[in-house]
Amino acid sequence: MNYKIVGEPMPAVICELENGEAMICESGAMSWMSPNMQMETTGGGAGKVFGRMFSGENLFQNRYTARNGQGMIAFASSFPGSIRAYEITPSTPIVVQKRAFLASTAGVDLSVHFQKKIGAGFFGGEGFIMQKISGSGTAFIEIDGSAVEYTLEAGQQMLIDTGYLAMMDATVQLDIQQVKGVKNMLLGGESLFNTLVTGPGRIVLQTMPITSFASSIASLLPSKS
């Protein structure tokens, strides 16, 4: 499979497949394709369907396979931002925010990833239920806005406003830290809790989370009388 990413800030990834090669994606993610791409809707087993239902994702995925020669298929981002490609191996899985998975080659597996710490569960927002991408192949991830990548050393930490964490290596630990000081909590204008990540591993931050963008737009709309 060969690919190219085009069109930021509304990007799409265009994949060129050899005969018999396949791509998987969430329902509705395909944007355009050659006529010889054959679609099959799959659930991946009852456990995976239940996990996607719990996380609020689509219950089924689509598999597109090139038949009778080379094929082409494109997947477009649903929000202004960027698309990143990650090579996945059994020893290098990654964890991404909900809705970040766009598409992948057929050897990649998508599952629900729960944070183990109770604090992250109750107060983590988007950080509580994330998606784990494992297996072998290439995965394409949607980033809201621009992507900023850091590599954390073992024990190195960073505090992140909830919603700005787009991707992390599975080796990175995530927890929630309360903003210190009553005055800061009440008057600071920030969230009451921040996301704390601890290395080792990569993290990718996004500059315009869709939830923050939606809140900004809502604040400008006239209120109903």
Domains within the chain, CATH numbers bracketed: 2-215 (3.60.160.10)
Rounded to two decimals, what is the model's pTM? 0.82
Rounded mean pLDDT of 60-76?
A: 95
In the prediction, which pLDDT does 176 show? Answer: 82
Pick from 33-37, 54-58, 81-85, 95-99: least confident: 54-58
What are the Cα distances from residue 74, in Å, to 1, 7, 147, 205? 12, 12, 21, 25
Average pLDDT over residues 143-147: 93
Q: Which residues pair with 71 in a beta bridge?
A: 17
Report the percentage of the chain scoring pLDDT > 70.
75
* Predicted pLDDT of residue 53: 52
Query: Do residues 136 and 90 make contact, with C-beta atoms less than 8 angstroms apart?
Result: yes
Answer with the residue of higher pLDDT: 13 or 180: 13
- Residue 8: pLDDT band with limits 50, 70, 90: confident
Considering only residues 221 and 59, tell me which one the structure prediction assigns the higher pLDDT.
221
- Predicted confidence (pLDDT) at residue 120 exceeds the cutoff of 50: no
> How large is the average pLDDT for residues 84-107?
94
Confidence bin at 125 (pLDDT 50/70/90): very low
- The model's confidence at residue 59, banded by pLDDT at 50, 70 and 90, is low
φ and ψ at 174, to 5 degrees?
Answer: -125, 135
- Residue 14's pLDDT is what? 98
Structure tokens at 11: 């990007």
Q: How confident is the model at residue 124 (pLDDT cuts 50, 70, 90)?
A: very low
Confidence grade of residue 189 (pLDDT, cut at 50, 70, 90): very low
Q: How far apart are CA 47 and CA 51, in angstroms?
A: 6
pLDDT of residue 149 exceeding 90 = yes
Mean pLDDT over each residue of the chain, to the nearest integer: 83
